[in-house]
Amino acid sequence: MKYYDKLIFELSRPGRKGYELPADEYGKDAMSAIPSELMRGTEAELPEVSELDVVRHYTNLSMKNFGVDTGFYPLGSCTMKYNPKINEEIAAMPQFTQLHPLQDEKGVQGALELYYNLQQALANIAGLYEFTLNPYAGAHGELTGLMVMRQYHLSRGDEKRTKVIVPNSAHGTNPASAMVAGLEVVEVKSKPNGSIDVEDLKPLLDDTVAGIMMTNPNTLGMFETEIMEIAALVHEAGGLLYYDGANLNPLLGKVRPGDMGFDIMHINLHKTFSTPHGGGGPGSGPVGVVEHLAKFLPNPRVRKNADGSFSIESDGESLGSVSSFLGNFGVMMKAYAYILTLGRENLKNVGPLATLNANYIKESLKDDYLLPIDGVCKHEFVFDGLKDKSTGVTTLNVAKRLLDYGFHAPTIYFPLLFHESMMIEPTETESVETLDEFIDVMHKVAAEARETPEDVKNAPLTTIVRKLDETTAAKNPVLTYRQLKSAAEK
Amino acid sequence: MPHTDSDIRRMLDKIGVDTIDDLYADVPQEVIFREDYDIPSAMSEIELRKHFEALGEKNRRLTVFGGCGVYDHYSPSAVAHLLGRSEFYTAYTPYQPEISQGTLTYIFEYQSIISELTGMEATNASMYDGATAAAEAMFMMVASAKKKNRVVLSATLLDQVIRVVRTYGKFHGVEVTVVPEKDGVSDFEAIMAEVEKGDVAGVIVPVPNKYGIIEDYTGWAEAIHGAKGYMAMYADPSALAVLRTPAEWGADVACGDGQTLGMPMSFGGPYLGFISCGKGMLRKMPGRVVGATKDADGKRAFVLTLQAREQHIRREKATSNICSNQSLMALYATIYVSLMGKSGMVEVNRLSCDGAHYLYDRLIESGKFEAAFPGKPFLKEFVVKTELDVEALNARLLEHGIMGGVNLGDGRVEFAVTEKRTKEEIDRLVALLTA
């Protein structure tokens, strides 16, 4: 594609317009009567462009992006599955998008029914008692879940439980969410296979522990086989188990977190339930809990009444509110449409086929890439870079070279357990042909690393921009068009 | 799922197992789920559409005169069309900048636009919503003010904002003091009395406030800064195209909800939260930030920057646990503001303001409503008092397909008017209210 290098501000011409509004028929200029000291002193320098300018500009920008619709995303821990088109259309239905969150409950019964049914479906899929859909994202769900954990202990007058145990292999949001929730993080060691070291866990479990945060399968894609023992130990010590739903996908149809002893969890609707990632959001991070914790979930809540109608309520024992209203409703609509499309018959195949795809790639590539932990994985697995370390080609080099071949990179340098981590998660929506193409390219890159290593080290070579100077960007931040313009003038 | 039986056989052979179940052999048998999920049977697209249409029929689309933080503004057709480009909405967070320049460029534009509206130097890539952005603004002030662990909120902030800030404060260990209003506006003396106690990191006040009133903050920043506190403002970004900006008032942080930038009301979300600050507080700012840079060939390009503040690097020492933004909604805001442009953003406010004042004047004229806060300036939203039964009035309006003003209790009702409302709709509303 021809390189397009404009900002919307650079298309701006004084007096150009891209909108039409009705004539002001009120006959009185009320805005001019507002005291001038309450009004802006200078105009905002906003773009002045035509509608066609805007349409061409953003169409051109879109062509500088890679998405699931463009190509394969083997991005570990991100579950980049296909986002069915019908879900977008349904979420755009004006019967839902034009509802004001404070309008009378009588006029939003359809929306509340959908919200309630999705809560129920998630509770059943998770093996838990009740869900709130209010949290806006995975990290927000973690924070909300940890607030539930603390509220539970505080409600029992147990104020000394201020520690949360987090594996050293956990996603960075786990300890960060704990910090925001006012909890102190205690790390538990992982064994070489990434599983929690139960012997290291035991001495940590005292009466200051609020609970433990875990993913299962863990960040290496390995199932925590000692989960029942861990659950028993944590519960005996008076703590709760939090399940980070980032890795839920392989369990669909196979295992329910509630059945493993987890008390609280969040689900990333934008991973497991196929709502698009949107370039970073909006997502949705529903939180589910066992029965005795349900009263602590955040307000507002959606309840079904005896007469079959639905209402919005607030509960006195709730931890409080974490969102303005009922969360990202538009995202919930897509997730609910996804669940109904797959239905009872097919949703249960998601986990097994995601696991099949991951193992197929792993077995096909372990001749060229170093597999530190052999054995069956679940939805994802981790290579520790290329097997042949003599070439000097790093995981970063391989990742960037993949961009040249039209694939997204895997998640790299995470988890921190290995120096050259390369985390691959294909999801169940990819066909074996796509996986084979990816496998071929990965083999080709491994061959290049041996034969023409400079091509790999200088990658990407064919993308519309090449390696970026990130150091200068951080040292002298230029964060707005105004700053860019004044930097150029200097 | 595209797998045929023969695909599955070939893949299992490659892996060296007999059945897919063998891939779960390591899972303790007692946790294997052997039942069916209790969810409906699979639906075709035809059935799915009918299902959602039936649900939709249980909702009422109304002519909206309610506000309280969410407004029925108009969004030009081109916004939704461009947002439907799947290169935008099916993309991941732009960790691979070489193939994410589309996302990174629009976030840079978004940051520029919000910075123009707030008057501040820096804006992050967006937050979940206005209320959580206010909570993060609280954390920024506490992190910047050493050893001060209290934040003061004006009671004239939106109720949903106060609720969320209180929750975040309670768990994080920040004391939140809400100072009661005085005649519908923030009480300067009472707030300063708190700040002068010396343990207050900062103050959060609204522009405009929850009653629609444009408050006068003359002298506030000087007084708060003089007492070694920070000042954050919770603002309506659409209104900032015409109102005095947080920067002009001397605020250190600006935050708020982007819903007013043409976003559908969507029963409460998705919207976006924004947060802006001066360069001095930049490294305390949560969330993603995009900066300009150059590539290996010297071409201008954009990249996520200042990541040393963030959770995936700093873990429990990060400024926040935020690891995403409302990226697609930031694109929404960017395209909306680009289309409306410099003059359109002013015109939207003028039409809304003139319509709101027209409704206000008609209600007062009727003799059945009186001003709740006489003489206080407002833009698109206001509160009136009445002896009439507000619940009954709103029920009657609902029968006529109208969402009336939000009932604040004690005979007070809050109306909002946007550029989407017509004089005819307002006349009809007034006729129904005063019949």
Instruction: Identify the residue among A65, A148, A475 best suited for mutation to test binding to B, counting B beta carbons within 10 A and taking the highest.
Output: A65
Q: Residue A163: beta bridge partners?
A: A184, A209
Min distance B32 CA to chain A CA atoms (Å): 5
Between chain A and chain B, how many beta carbons pairs sit less than 8 Å apart? 671
Question: Tens-digit pLDDT profile for chain B (435 aa)?
Answer: 999 999 999 999 999 999 999 999 999 999 999 999 999 999 999 999 999 999 999 999 999 999 999 999 999 999 999 999 999 999 999 999 999 999 999 999 999 999 999 999 999 999 999 999 999 999 999 999 989 999 999 999 999 999 999 999 999 999 999 999 999 999 999 999 999 999 999 999 999 999 999 999 999 999 999 999 999 999 999 999 999 999 999 999 999 999 999 999 999 999 999 999 998 899 899 999 999 999 999 999 999 998 877 667 677 777 788 888 899 999 999 999 999 999 999 999 999 999 999 999 999 999 999 999 999 999 999 999 999 999 999 999 999 999 999 999 999 999 999 999 999 999 999 999 998
The amino acid occupying position B4 is T
Asked if the Cβ–Cβ distance from A478 to B292 is below 8 Å, we say yes
Instruction: Identify the residue among B98, B265, B425 best suited for mutation to test binding to A, counting A beta carbons within 10 A and taking the highest.
Output: B98
Classified as helix, coil or strand, A101 is coil
Strands, E assignment, A23-158: 130-132
Percentage with pLDDT > 70 across chain A: 100
DSSP letters for A148-194: HHHHHHHHTT-TT--EEEEETTS-THHHHHHHHTT-EEEEEPBPTTS
The amino acid occupying position A212 is I
Q: Which residues of A touch B298 (CB under 8 A)?
A: none
Largest pairwise CA distance in chain A: 80
Pick from A143, A321, A340: CB nearest B40: A340
Confidence of residue A362 (pLDDT cuts 50, 70, 90): very high
pLDDT at res. A1:
47
Alpha-carbon span A19 to B65, nearest angstrom:
23
* C-beta of residue A354 within 8 angstroms of C-beta of residue A427: yes
For the domain covering B77-334, report its CATH number. 3.40.640.10
What residues 269-288 of chain A have any CB closer than 8 A to a CB of chain B?
A: 276-283
Asked if the Cβ–Cβ distance from B303 to A479 is below 8 Å, we say no
Q: Does A348 touch chain B (CB under 8 A)?
A: yes
Asked if the Cβ–Cβ distance from B327 to A281 is below 8 Å, we say yes
Pick from A21, A55, A482: CB nearest B115: A482
Taken in order A198, A200, A203, A204, the sign of the CA dihedral is negative
Q: Which residues of B touch A430 (CB under 8 A)?
A: 2
Instruction: Tell whether domain B63-74+342-434 is in CATH 3.40.1390.30.
Output: no
Pick from A124, A331, A357: CB nearest B39: A124
pLDDT tens-place string over residues A30-65: 999 999 999 999 999 999 999 999 999 999 999 999
Q: Does B93 touch chain A (CB under 8 A)?
A: yes
Asked if the Cβ–Cβ distance from B377 to A39 is below 8 Å, we say no
pLDDT at res. B146:
85
Q: Does A96 touch chain B (CB under 8 A)?
A: yes
ipTM over 0.95: yes
Strand bridging mode B290-294 / B300-304: antiparallel
- Mean pLDDT calculated for residue range A287-292: 98
Pick from B33, B128, B338: CB nearest A254: B33
Alpha-carbon span B191 to A161, nearest angstrom:
34
Pick from B31, B122, B170: CB nearest A479: B122
Domains in chain A, CATH or no CATH each: 8-62 (no CATH), 87-347 (3.40.640.10), 350-457 (3.90.1150.10)
Min distance B202 CA to chain A CA atoms (Å): 18
Asked if the Cβ–Cβ distance from A21 to B344 is below 8 Å, we say yes
Pick from A67, A225, A414: CB nearest B91: A67
Pick from B33, B214, B334: CB nearest A38: B214
pLDDT tens-place string over residues A82-91: 999 999 999 9
* C-beta of residue B141 within 8 angstroms of C-beta of residue B230: yes
Q: Residue B64: beta bridge partners?
A: B403
* C-beta of residue B44 within 8 angstroms of C-beta of residue A340: no
Instruction: Calculate the average pLDDT of chain A.
Output: 96
Instruction: Identify the residue among A42, A46, A228, A463 best suited for mutation to test binding to B, counting B beta carbons within 10 A and taking the highest.
Output: A46
CB-side neighbour CA atoms (13 Å) of B410? 3
pLDDT tens-place string over residues A216-254: 999 899 999 999 999 999 999 999 999 999 999 999 999
What residues 61-80 of chain A have any CB closer than 8 A to a CB of chain B?
A: 61-70, 73, 75, 78, 80
Pick from B41, B64, B329: CB nearest A345: B41
Instruction: Calculate the average pLDDT of chain B.
Output: 96
List of residues 6+ apart from B298 with CB closer than 8 A = none
List of residues 6+ apart from A126 with CB closer than 8 A = A256, A257, A258, A265, A267, A288
Tokens for B222, please give them. 């000087």
The amino acid occupying position A123 is A
Largest pairwise CA distance in chain B: 84
Asked if the Cβ–Cβ distance from A46 to B345 is below 8 Å, we say yes
Pick from B37, B96, B318: CB nearest A124: B37
Asked if the Cβ–Cβ distance from A44 to B117 is below 8 Å, we say yes
Strands, E assignment, A215-327: 240-244, 264-266, 287-289, 301-304, 310-313
Q: Which residues of A touch B166 (CB under 8 A)?
A: 320
The amino acid occupying position A208 is T
Alpha-carbon span A303 to A274, nearest angstrom:
26
Min distance A98 CA to chain B CA atoms (Å): 6
**How many other β-carbons are positioned within 10 Å of the β-carbon of residue A318?**
21
What residues 22-51 of chain B have any CB closer than 8 A to a CB of chain A?
A: 22-28, 30-33, 36-43, 45, 48-49, 51
Taken in order B314, B320, B322, B325, the sign of the CA dihedral is negative
Asked if the Cβ–Cβ distance from A469 to B294 is below 8 Å, we say yes
Min distance B25 CA to chain A CA atoms (Å): 9
pLDDT at res. A2:
63
Q: How large is the angle between the packed helices B130-144 and B159-172, nearest 10 degrees? A: 40
Tokens for A82, please give them. 């296909």
Strand bridging mode B122-123 / B273-277: antiparallel
* C-beta of residue B7 within 8 angstroms of C-beta of residue A432: yes
pLDDT at res. A3:
74
Q: Which residues of A touch B254 (CB under 8 A)?
A: none
Min distance A142 CA to chain B CA atoms (Å): 9
pLDDT tens-place string over residues A392-406: 999 999 999 999 999
Min distance A200 CA to chain B CA atoms (Å): 21
Confidence of residue A490 (pLDDT cuts 50, 70, 90): confident
Q: Which residues of A touch B11 (CB under 8 A)?
A: 356-357, 359-360, 432
Sequence spans of domains, chain B: 63-74+342-434, 77-334
What residues 297-356 of chain B have any CB closer than 8 A to a CB of chain A?
A: 297, 299-301, 303, 305-308, 310-318, 320-329, 331, 334-335, 337-345, 347-351, 353-356
What residues 181-220 of chain B have any CB closer than 8 A to a CB of chain A?
A: 214, 216, 218
Burial zone of B280 (CB within 10 Å; 0-12 exposed, 13-18 middle, 19+ buried): exposed
Tracing tokens 């390696």 back to the chain, one arrives at A467
- Residue in chain B closest to A479 (alpha carbons) equals B291
Strand bridging mode A163-167 / A184-188: parallel
The continuous run of DSSP H or E covering A423 comes out as: strand A421-424
Min distance B116 CA to chain A CA atoms (Å): 5
Burial zone of B364 (CB within 10 Å; 0-12 exposed, 13-18 middle, 19+ buried): middle
Q: Does B52 touch chain A (CB under 8 A)?
A: yes
pLDDT at res. A44:
97
* DSSP 8-state symbol, B216: -
pLDDT tens-place string over residues B137-182: 999 999 999 899 999 999 999 999 999 999 999 999 999 999 999 9
- Residue in chain B closest to A473 (alpha carbons) equals B293
List of residues 6+ apart from B343 with CB closer than 8 A = A17, A48
Alpha-carbon span B245 to B123, nearest angstrom:
14
Q: Among B164, B162, B172, which residue's Cα sits nearest to residue B139?
A: B172
**Distance in angstroms between the alpha carbons of the first and the last residue of chain A:** 32
Asked if the Cβ–Cβ distance from A460 to B98 is below 8 Å, we say yes
Q: Does A178 touch chain B (CB under 8 A)?
A: yes
Confidence of residue A385 (pLDDT cuts 50, 70, 90): very high
Asked if the Cβ–Cβ distance from B99 to A107 is below 8 Å, we say no
Classified as helix, coil or strand, B419 is coil
Pick from B10, B21, B90: CB nearest A83: B90
pLDDT tens-place string over residues A449-489: 999 999 999 999 999 999 999 999 999 999 999 999 998 88
Asked if the Cβ–Cβ distance from A40 to B242 is below 8 Å, we say yes
What residues 245-264 of chain A have any CB closer than 8 A to a CB of chain B?
A: 253-256, 259-260
Q: Is B298 left (phi over 0), alpha (psi -120 to 50) or beta?
A: left
Distance (Å) of CA A118 to CA A123, A125, A340, B205: 8, 10, 10, 37
pTM tops 0.95: yes
Angle at A100 between CA A98 and CA A102, to 5 degrees: 165
